Each structure stands twice: as structure tokens, then as C-alpha cells.
Amino acid sequence: MYREHEPFHAGTYENAWEPMETFSPDLNRDDGRNNMLKVTGLSVRYGARVVLENISLNVAGGKMLALIGPNGTGKSTFIKAVSGVIPAQRGKIQVNGQDVTRLSPLQRARLMAVIPQAAALPPAFTVWQTVLMGRTPHLNFLGQPSQKDEEIARRSLERVNALDLAKRRVGELSGGEAQRILMARALAQSAPLLLMDEPTAHLDLKYQLNILSLASSLAHKDGFAVLIVLHDLNLAAQYADRVALLAEGRLQAIGTPEQTITSKLLVPAYDVPLHVLPHPIHGRPFVSAIETAEQYA
Amino acid sequence: MSRIPFLSSFLILLLALLLSLAIGSVFLPLAELLAALTGHGADLTNSILWKIRLPRTVLIALTGMALGGSGAAYQGLFRNPLADPYLIGVASGAGLGAVIAMSVKWSYSFWGLMAVPLAAFLGALLTVFIVYLLARTGNVVPTTTLILAGVTVSSFAVSLTSFLMLRSDGELRRAMSWLMGGSIQLGWMSIAAMLPYLFLGLSIILLNGHTLNLLQFGDEQAQQLGLNVSRAKTILLIAASLATAAAVSFAGIIGFIGLVVPHLIRLWAGPDYRQLLPLSVLGGATALLVSDVLARVVLAPQEIPVGIITALAGAPFFLWVLRRAKNQGVW
């Protein structure tokens, strides 16, 4: 039964099961340490239009890969194709060593969790109900969460510092709060791969940093493989271990921030004059776009 | 899950059932009613109760359950608070199917009777797919196109139904009052004929509470959370159409129960479909029983079709929901 009322007293479910199951992935399993996500030669077409052409990349457990690129180059399409919402015409997608293209939505949802942009959530559901939805791939056919499911949902909320929001309705949340709830829902799926689609869009500066440091610690502290689509090149440079640049449906470069975020690669991709400098504090690349290079020369 | 909504729903339903058994051209006080129910009443009371009141009450209650449950399911499927088997034209489609089956002469044998809900089901299914395809823009079903498509398809089906009825002889003309929601008085036989369809449809709907919850997040998120979206939607459309067809076959086209009941329940007990669905089933029965009692008394001794009562109460409610949805942009 749904226990909406006082769903979590610290200690209530202590030792409810052994060993302690958490949402964190087991990095010692299979391919996880090097290739939690391994995409080989992925191509996607909408009708005759080629949206993604021959994309190959991998994300290791415990690492964060940022996917950058101008609008309309297929970044969101990439996430949709990996999560199976749209079919891939060619290529192989493996998660933790398993070919996911043949898996059912339920089996996929155990391997990867998608964190969409916060825009469309049914406003009348509570935060607690929403996070419990993340347990879907682990529930019985009636969809009744067990004590264990509720405990995992509680920990997921705790992990994103949103336990105090549990009883609120989703419609009452700010953009930043809603984004954290979506992250908690993804954690509740107990899947080793997290796919985030521009989680900082529409958020103010404080929440942008808040969400990204959370994403980065989910990779570096909890061991998730995190693939994050980002608009902001400087956030990508600051937080990601590796950066992949997508333009016109093709992978232009993939490597460390220093290797990918260079004016040589970015200027043709974004078609705008820009300068890349080392950041005065953290030393990673820092991008500044200017109207015309001559203007400030 | 709180038990209070369920307990109170049961109690209110029980009251409505008693009311429906007691009130009619002959009033049966509680003592006589209980005596007749246990088989100890006077002969006349016994036969009023067992041959007339009880079958009618059961039929009305089952019809209300079907309308409440399928209304909630359609609202969840279309993610639209104004979806209702009547407004989206499914009921009219089912009515057309039923009339076609009735116009075949074998109607009043038991198996002929069983064929009516089957034909109604096919009519309902055909209608819902047409309306869905017409109304859908991308992955959402906006209110305007849903209602427009529903009204259009519905009036087409109703016209065709009227045409069939007018060109036929006596038998089918009697169905005119049925079509407006005056139940056909066939006693226990019609209940036996509708039960399999109703049971199947409602069971599937009630088992899919979590599925409907997931669908509220949109197709994409639902699939990413592990739901096979197109399969789930197809199953639910079929189940809701089965329930609608069962209701329409023997109680006629009754509007607004499927709209009003789930909506009030949502305001009262929240958006979780695992509660919303069973509560809408119970509430649908209660609402239709009360409407039916009203239909018996307002012009007594004459009875009016219950569909008139539900429309008189439901249409203003529809306008209120429409206004609310417009003002808040949410539901």
C-alpha cells in the first residue's frame, strides 16, 4: 500500500534487509569500470533526414561525459536513441556489457535512467509519488511499492537533499527543485547509467551550479556513469571528465575538456568567433564568444 | 493508502442501493424491503422487489460502475480532464453497434442478447480509434480537438443510429427511449449478458492504476521509466471500450457520469490512479443510482430516461471544469 503519510522516519526501516541495497552501481561487475555505456556506429534518421551519423563513444562508471554542440545537432536525439524512445537505424548500444537495443522498456529502465528537462510533470502528484515512479522497473505487476522500494526512494530523495520536499505537490516546486526531484526519481531506478538532457536549461546561476555539482558527485562519489547534455560550454569544461562535441549529426571530437574545448574545434561547429582561455582559477578551458574578433582586437 | 475514502464510498453506495430499491411507483419501507430481500415478504412486495426493483438497481449500479471506471481510464489515457465516454463519442459508437445488432431479428434470445454488447464493443472501439487519430497532435490530445472530433464522430453515429431506427418497424422504435438512457427492462437476462464484458473491462482497468500514473508523465518519460507505452495504451483503450459497450448495450447512452465522477474523486482523493480508479467505479454506481431514483420521481408516475438527469446535472459541471482548466492550465 502507498504510505503517503509519514513515509520515512529515520531508522524505521533500518536493517529491513541485508545486505544494504543502495542505488549505487557495482563497478566491479562486467564492463562497468571502462564501458558502462558503449555506443558504436550509431545512426538515426527521421524519414530521409539524417540526424545522427556514425556516433561512437563510451562512458565509464564513475565518470561524467558532457555532450555539447549547437542547437539541432542531435544531442537530445542521442539520448532518445540510447533510451529507446526512438529507434536507431544502425549501430550498437551496450550498457554494462548488454546489448540494449533488444531489451524491453522495463529491462532498459533497470540499466539506465533518463533525467529530462523539468518542463512536463503532472502537477498534482506529490514529490514522494513522483520519486516512487522511479521504482517502476522493480515493482510487481500491480505497481505496489514494497518497504524496500520506499526505503530506496527515501534515500534517493535524501541524496539530492530534497527529503523535506516529499509531501509537496510537484506543481508547487521551483525549476531547480523539480530538477532535483527528477534526479531523485532517476536514482530510485537503481540503474548504473544516468542520462541527463540539459538539466540546467531555464535555471538560474545558483541552481545551475547546484545541479551540476550534484551530477558530478553522483559520478565521482557514487560511481554512476553520467552522460549529460549541456548548452553551457563553461559548465561542461568545469565539471565534466570528458567532453564530446556534436555538430551536424556527427561527432567532431571527444576527449578531455582541454582537448575538445578549443577555438579550432568550436568556431566551425558554432559558427561564431570565440576565444578559449585557461580559466584563472581552475585552469580548465574558458570560452568567451564575441561578435567579431576585430572589434576588440 | 488511506481507507477512509473507500469506506465512505462503500457506505454512500449502500445508501444509494437501498434508496433505489425503496423508491418507485410503490414505496417499500425498510422493514418490508428487508423482509422481501430475505424472502419473507408479502407476495406482491416479493415480486416487485425481485422481478422489477432489484434487477433494475443492479443494472443501473453496474452501468454506473462501467461509466465511472471507463471515464477515469479515458481521462488518464488522453491526459485530459474532459474525456468522457459520451463526450468523446465512444458511447454513440457503441450505441450504433448495439442498434445494428438489435436490428437483426434474433435479438431477444439469450445469445442474441449476448451479441448486442459485442457489437457495441466493436462500435466503441472503432469510434475511439477514429477520434484518437483525429484529435491527436503529436503525442498529446488537446481538449479542443478531442471534443471537436468526439462531437463530430458522435453526431455521425447518432444520425446513423436514428436512421436505422426510423426505417425499421416497431421493435427497434422502442429502442428510442433506451438510446436516451432509459434502460431496457429485461430483468436478470440483460445483467447476465453484460456481466462478462463489464467484468473483463473493469478488471483490466483496475489492474492498470500504476500504468495510468506513469502515462501522466507523457509517453516518453513513461517509456524511460520502463513502460511499454503503445501496448499499455492499446490494452487500456480496449478495456475502457469494453466497459463502455457493456454500459451502453443495456442502459443506453448516458452522458457525464464518466466525466463528473472521476473529476470529483480526483479533487477529493488526489491524482493517484490506484485509488482514483476503484473510487470512480464505486462513485459511478452511486451517482447513476441517485440519478435513476430522481428519474423515477421528478415526473412521477411517469419515468424519464436517466440520461436526461445526468445531462442536466453534468452539462453545467462540464462548463465549470472547462473554465477551471482554462484558468489554471492544469488539472
- Which one of B216, B224, B331 has the shortest CB-CB distance to A109? B224
Angle between the N-to-C axes of helices B229-251 and B188-207, in degrees from 0 to 180, rounded to the nearest 10: 160
pLDDT at B99: 85
Distance in angstroms (rounded) separating the CA atoms of residues A169 and A130 = 9
Query: Hey, what's the cell of B214?
Result: 506513469
Distance in angstroms (rounded) separating the CA atoms of residues A56 and A42 = 7
Q: Which residues pair with A112 in a beta bridge?
A: A193
pLDDT at A33: 61
pLDDT, one tens digit per residue, over B246-277 is: 888 888 888 889 999 999 999 888 899 999 99
pLDDT at B253: 83
Average confidence score pLDDT of chain A? 86
Residue given cell 492544469 in the structure block:
B330
Q: Is the peptide bond before A19 cis (omega within 30 degrees of 0)?
A: yes
As for the ipTM of the complex, it is 0.86
B200 secondary structure, DSSP code:
H
A vs B: CB pairs below 8 A: 85
CA nearest B241: which of B38, B114, B83? B83
Which residues of chain A have a CB within 8 Å of the CB of B216? 122, 125
B310 secondary structure, DSSP code:
H
The answer to whether B207 contacts A171, with C-beta atoms less than 8 Å apart, is: no
Which residues of chain B have a CB within 8 Å of the CB of A136? 210, 214, 225-227
Distance in angstroms (rounded) separating the CA atoms of residues B324 and A124 = 15
- Kindly report which listed range (A192-196, A241-245, B49-53) carries the lowest average pLDDT score: B49-53
Tell me if B84 sits within 8 A of B259, measured CB to CB.
yes
Closest residue in B to A83 (Cα) is B224
pLDDT at A13: 35
Distance in angstroms (rounded) separating the CA atoms of residues A82 and B220 = 13
Which residues of chain A have a CB within 8 Å of the CB of B229? 105
Tell me if A60 sits within 8 A of A34, measured CB to CB.
yes
The answer to whether A105 contacts B271, with C-beta atoms less than 8 Å apart, is: no
With an 8 Å Cβ cutoff, is B272 touching chain A? yes
pLDDT, one tens digit per residue, over A272-289 is: 888 899 999 988 999 988
Distance in angstroms (rounded) separating the CA atoms of residues B120 and B127 = 10
Count of C-beta atoms within a 10 Å radius of residue B130: 19
Q: Is the pLDDT of residue A218 over 80?
A: yes
pLDDT at A17: 32
B53 secondary structure, DSSP code:
I
Tell me if A109 sits within 8 A of B225, measured CB to CB.
yes
Confidence of residue B105 (pLDDT cuts 50, 70, 90): low
The answer to whether B266 contacts A124, with C-beta atoms less than 8 Å apart, is: yes
* Nearest chain B Cα distance for residue A200, angstroms: 18
Distance in angstroms (rounded) separating the CA atoms of residues A244 and A64 = 11
Higher-pLDDT residue of B137, A91? A91
Cα-Cα-Cα-Cα torsion A194, A196, A200, A201, nearest 10 degrees, comes to -170
pLDDT, one tens digit per residue, over A110-160 is: 999 999 976 678 889 999 999 999 999 999 877 789 999 999 999 999 999
Query: Hey, what's the cell of B173?
Result: 422504435
Distance in angstroms (rounded) separating the CA atoms of residues B55 and B60 = 8
- Residue B168 CB partners (closer than 8 Å, separation 6+): B103
The answer to whether B266 contacts A136, with C-beta atoms less than 8 Å apart, is: no
- Which one of B209, B221, B266 has the shortest CB-CB distance to A116? B221
The answer to whether B2 contacts A122, with C-beta atoms less than 8 Å apart, is: no
Higher-pLDDT residue of B154, B176? B154
pLDDT at B302: 80
Query: Hey, what's the cell of A13?
Result: 526501516
Tell me if A27 sits within 8 A of A62, measured CB to CB.
yes
Distance in angstroms (rounded) separating the CA atoms of residues B236 and B239 = 5
Closest residue in B to A143 (Cα) is B210
With an 8 Å Cβ cutoff, is A125 touching chain B? yes
Residue given cell 571527444 in the structure block:
A254
With an 8 Å Cβ cutoff, is A121 touching chain B? yes
Q: Is the pLDDT of residue A187 over 80?
A: yes
State mean pLDDT over A190-200.
93
CA nearest B183: which of B174, B195, B196? B174
* Nearest chain B Cα distance for residue A4, angstroms: 7
Closest residue in A to B329 (Cα) is A123
With an 8 Å Cβ cutoff, is A136 touching chain B? yes
pTM for the model stands at 0.88
Closest residue in A to B228 (Cα) is A105
pLDDT, one tens digit per residue, over B5-51 is: 899 999 999 999 999 999 887 888 888 888 888 878 788 888 888 88
What secondary structure does DSSP assign to A178-198, as a single string? Answer: HHHHHHHHHHHTT-SEEEEE-
The answer to whether B1 contacts A120, with C-beta atoms less than 8 Å apart, is: no
Q: Is the pLDDT of residue B285 over 90?
A: yes
Q: What percent of chain B is predicted at pLDDT more than 70? A: 89
The answer to whether A120 contacts B331, with C-beta atoms less than 8 Å apart, is: no
- Which one of B213, B271, B331 has the shortest CB-CB distance to A133? B213
With an 8 Å Cβ cutoff, is B207 touching chain A? yes
- Which one of A3, A105, A113 has the shortest CB-CB distance to B227? A105
For A86, phi then psi, to 5°, come to -120, 150
With an 8 Å Cβ cutoff, is A143 touching chain B? yes
Residue given cell 463502455 in the structure block:
B244
pLDDT, one tens digit per residue, over B170-205 is: 666 656 666 655 555 567 888 888 899 999 999 999
The answer to whether A105 contacts B214, with C-beta atoms less than 8 Å apart, is: no
CA nearest A137: which of A126, A121, A149, A127? A149
Q: Is the pLDDT of residue A19 over 50?
A: no
Query: Hey, what's the cell of A207?
Result: 541552481
The answer to whether A139 contacts B210, with C-beta atoms less than 8 Å apart, is: yes
pLDDT at A109: 95
